[in-house]
DNA sequence: CTGAAAGCGCTAACAG
DNA sequence: CTGTTAGCGCTTTCAG
């Protein structure tokens, strides 16, 4: 049996297709009896609306495209979940594509989203997207930049102040009496990591007795954290830092697992440890981890709101929202 | 500027829309010069095909719906990723919905998938889906059951032998000299957990000297594992098991974190520990975890293949594929 | 090999 | 309040 269409419903309910459409989209302008009769017919035929036809007629879909650059990062998962909720309340769904930091995959999804005629896209740009963005603009597809600011600021953006976050973590370490700090980052070139480091530097520079060493790993993963931790643990005592600031929690958790000195955990007594993102595992790890929390859910919600407003009114000026991170103190930075 | 359509392309290339469509779908039957001329025109207008229109004409979309029952479970994430790859090679995309074990959400996604006229759906059923499945069948939408077998076996399924997995883990514990076993499960009613326990029981029953205690937690999470671990660690030595089989790795990792006896880790010397799923964290945890690995990627690939075959030929008999799990031995079960 | 034309299911404008 | 109708962009016969 093929799916029933509005025509079939109309025939069974003895009304016209226009009325069926009205029952679907503006039930208030249809008389109650008619509404009921039509709904009964729909049920009888187990009618389901054909989204493709609707979309074709409307000119755009009821979907928002979201391109994240790391599917494994809980920060993004959270943000995406919040975006989905907000969008869903407004009758939209969110389609997610993971670029995994590859600019060709980013381009691929941008393309797919265009074919799908999405209502707008939420993007954490990786490569040089300026030309693509220009095209989106020509097409009247609104774009909101997430977690990274646009270079030309002609697109709205929702981000978090990573410089402030880096400063927050560093100030806390110094406040708890640490003086030989180590920053552990991911591959150079990730803007967020650079910003967090810049924040750390600015604070260290104001404290004459404090030093800051920097170590860049290959990736922001638990494995890499373990590897770096082992290197640090193997150093001579005088060369070891007394505090480590990891660019994200995955890295920090890896460090935590391998920072053992003379067979005993070095955190927090010998080495204080701060992570970034405050993922669920941060609280659940062997030594609960102090971390810098980003308002991931709020970011997702705000980004969708702005996007939908711009979709409704293409003449809106771009807006730039920047949230402040927050320090969550746990045992991994307990003062000696 | 509105998006260019086949009409615009046809006009610019001085051909008919039919030819443009042919260039798009069967370029081989069009003369090379014409193809080139049309492609040039497409580029000039930066034409992108309208999926909605295409879909309307074709009668179905190029998407497969996937309903998983836990977005946080790495087993599903892996399976979904494999499904996406396989689907993508065949020109399909996968739309994912998380039911989170809630049957009304499951119904919601099933509905959405119908509206979207998906080519088929991959489903790990939660509630009583029999009536819905019947409807899908009437609509000629193929369904493949994943990780759970259908009660009436009239739908194809791809699953893993959880009874065998439970037996595998248990046999290994006994082989390494353990005799007082404890099974830690999640909420009753989850079929997989029940099957793993049944497997464990069957092996224990064949070994007279071995006992099996069973503890059911509230959920299959790290937190719950930590809670249960603390309870076990606090028992009198004589009451403590010498081996624990956890129904999944999250639980096992929680247990690992809290199974400390006299301030020292109890695993693996005093208590051997086996998990299930072999998630990434299993290898990366403080004591690398022995675990039962499911061929998650293979499941995703197979399920998509079967689905697509059935979509092409609705007269195919349902097939039932059942994979065998595999034991991955690591330090958490090192013999004393 | 190419062109013309029908029609997929829906919504919105307009007429009654 | 309800009915009629045009047309969204595409693919696919069917003729040429």
Reduced to 3 states (helix: H, G, I; strand: E, B; else coil), residue A167 is helix
At B152 the pLDDT is 66
Reduced to 3 states (helix: H, G, I; strand: E, B; else coil), residue A95 is strand
pLDDT in tens, B20-62: 999 998 888 888 888 989 989 998 888 889 989 998 998 888 8
pLDDT in tens, B124-170: 887 777 888 888 888 888 999 998 776 667 899 999 999 999 999 99
At A2 the pLDDT is 62
Rounded to whole angstroms, the Cα distance separating A281 from A15 reads: 58
What's the rounded mean pLDDT across residues B219-242? Answer: 93
Q: Residue B314 CA to nucleotide D5 C1', Å?
A: 37
pLDDT in tens, A17-49: 999 999 998 888 988 889 999 999 999 888 889
Rounded to whole angstroms, the Cα distance separating A193 from A220 reads: 10
| Domain B162-294+327-333 listed as CATH 3.40.50.2300 | yes
Cα four-point dihedral sign B13, B15, B16, B22:
negative
pLDDT in tens, B308-326: 999 888 888 999 999 999 9
State both tokens at A120: 């707008």
Closest alpha carbon within chain B to A84: B97
Residue B173 above 90 pLDDT?
A: yes
Average pLDDT, whole number, for chain A? 89
At B2 the pLDDT is 61
> Which residue carries 């941008």 as its tokens?
A110
What's the rounded mean pLDDT across residues A304-308? Answer: 95
Report whether A288 contacts A331 (CB < 8 A). yes
> Which residue carries 């359509």 as its tokens?
B5
- The H or E element spanning position B77 is helix B74-89
Tell me whether the CATH fold assigned to A59-160+296-323 matches the one assigned to A162-294+327-333. Answer: yes
Best B51, B109, B222 member to test A by mutation, with max A CBs in 10 Å, is B51
Cβ-proximal residues to A172 (8 Å cutoff; 6+ apart), any chain: A274, A290, A327, A329, A333
Are the beta carbons of A115 and B55 separated by less than 8 Å? Answer: no
Q: Residue B52 CA to nucleotide D11 C1', Å?
A: 12
Are the beta carbons of B222 and A53 separated by less than 8 Å? Answer: no
Rg (Cα) of chain B, in Å, rounded? 26
Q: Within an 8 Å CB–CB cutoff, is residue B117 touching chain A?
A: yes
What's the rounded mean pLDDT across residues A71-96? Answer: 82
pLDDT top residue among A179 and A87 = A179
Reduced to 3 states (helix: H, G, I; strand: E, B; else coil), residue B267 is coil
Task: Provide the positions of strand C that have an atom within 7 A of a protein CB.
Answer: 1-13
Structural domain spans, chain A:
6-49, 59-160+296-323, 162-294+327-333
Which range is most confident: A92-96, A241-245, B93-97, B216-220? A241-245
At B72 the pLDDT is 63
Residue B109 above 90 pLDDT?
A: no
Rg (Cα) of chain A, in Å, rounded? 26
Are the beta carbons of A53 and B52 separated by less than 8 Å? Answer: yes
Q: How confident is the model at residue A266 (pLDDT cuts 50, 70, 90)?
A: very high
At B227 the pLDDT is 94
Task: Provide the positions of strand D that have an atom within 7 A of a protein CB.
Answer: 1-13
Are the beta carbons of A1 and B46 separated by less than 8 Å? Answer: no
User: What superfamily would CATH give domain B59-160+296-323?
Assistant: Response regulator (3.40.50.2300)
Residue A72 above 80 pLDDT?
A: no
Q: How many CA atoms lie within 13 A of B176 on its CB side?
A: 25
The minimal CB distance from A115 to the residues B49, B223, B257 is found for B49
Rounded to whole angstroms, the Cα distance separating B19 from B30 reads: 8
Q: Which of residues 32-51 of A touch strand D (CB under 7 A)?
A: 33-34
Nearest residue to A232 (alpha-carbon basis) of A282, A190, A274, A181: A181
> Which residue carries 């032998």 as its tokens?
B161
A49 min Cα distance to partner chain B (Å): 6
> Which residue carries 């030595």 as its tokens?
B237
Rounded to whole angstroms, the Cα distance separating B244 from B255 reads: 9
At B84 the pLDDT is 85
Lowest mean pLDDT among A91-95, A97-101, B278-282: A97-101
- Break chain A down into helix, strand, coil percent, rounded to 5: 45, 20, 35
Average pLDDT, whole number, for chain B? 89
* A329 CB and strand C closer than 7 A: no
- Cβ-based neighbour number of residue B177 at 10 Å: 11
At A151 the pLDDT is 66
Residue B205 above 60 pLDDT?
A: yes
Reduced to 3 states (helix: H, G, I; strand: E, B; else coil), residue A157 is strand
Residue A336 above 90 pLDDT?
A: no
Rounded to whole angstroms, the Cα distance separating A158 from A321 reads: 5
Reduced to 3 states (helix: H, G, I; strand: E, B; else coil), residue B118 is coil
Pinpoint the alpha helices (H) of A176-261.
Answer: 191-205, 222-233, 249-258
């Amino acid at each position: 049996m093929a799916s029933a269409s509005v025509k079939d419903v109309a025939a069974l309910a003895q009304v016209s297709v226009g009325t069926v459409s009205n029952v679907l989209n503006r039930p208030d302008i249809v008389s109650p009896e008619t509404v009921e009769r039509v709904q009964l017919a729909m049920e009888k035929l187990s009618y389901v609306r054909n989204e493709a036809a609707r979309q074709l007629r409307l000119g755009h879909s009821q979907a928002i495209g979201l391109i994240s650059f790391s599917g494994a990062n809980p920060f993004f998962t959270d943000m995406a979940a919040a975006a989905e909720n907000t969008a869903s309340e407004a009758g939209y769904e969110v389609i997610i594509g993971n670029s995994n930091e590859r600019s060709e995959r980013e381009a691929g999804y941008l393309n797919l989203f265009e074919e799908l005629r999405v209502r707008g896209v939420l993007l954490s740009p990786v490569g040089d997207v300026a030309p693509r963005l220009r095209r989106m603009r020509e097409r009247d597809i609104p774009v909101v930049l997430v977690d990274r600011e646009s270079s030309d600021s002609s697109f709205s953006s929702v981000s978090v102040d990573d410089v402030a976050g880096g400063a927050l973590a560093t100030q806390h370490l110094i406040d708890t009496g640490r003086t030989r700090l180590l920053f552990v980052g991911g591959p150079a070139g990730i803007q967020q990591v650079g910003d967090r480091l810049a924040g750390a530097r600015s604070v260290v520079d104001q404290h004459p007795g404090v030093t800051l060493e920097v170590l860049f790993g290959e990736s922001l993963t638990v494995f890499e954290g373990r590897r770096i931790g082992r290197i640090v643990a193997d150093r001579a005592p005088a060369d070891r830092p007394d505090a480590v600031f990891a660019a994200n929690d995955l890295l920090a958790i890896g460090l935590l697992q391998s920072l053992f000195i003379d067979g005993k955990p070095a955190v927090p007594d010998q080495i204080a440890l701060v992570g970034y993102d405050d993922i669920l595992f941060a609280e659940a790890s062997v030594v609960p981890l102090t971390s810098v929390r980003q308002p991931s859910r709020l970011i997702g919600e705000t980004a969708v709101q702005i996007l939908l407003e711009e979709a409704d009114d293409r003449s809106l000026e771009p807006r730039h929202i920047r949230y402040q991170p927050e320090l969550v103190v746990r045992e991994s930075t307990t003062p000696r």
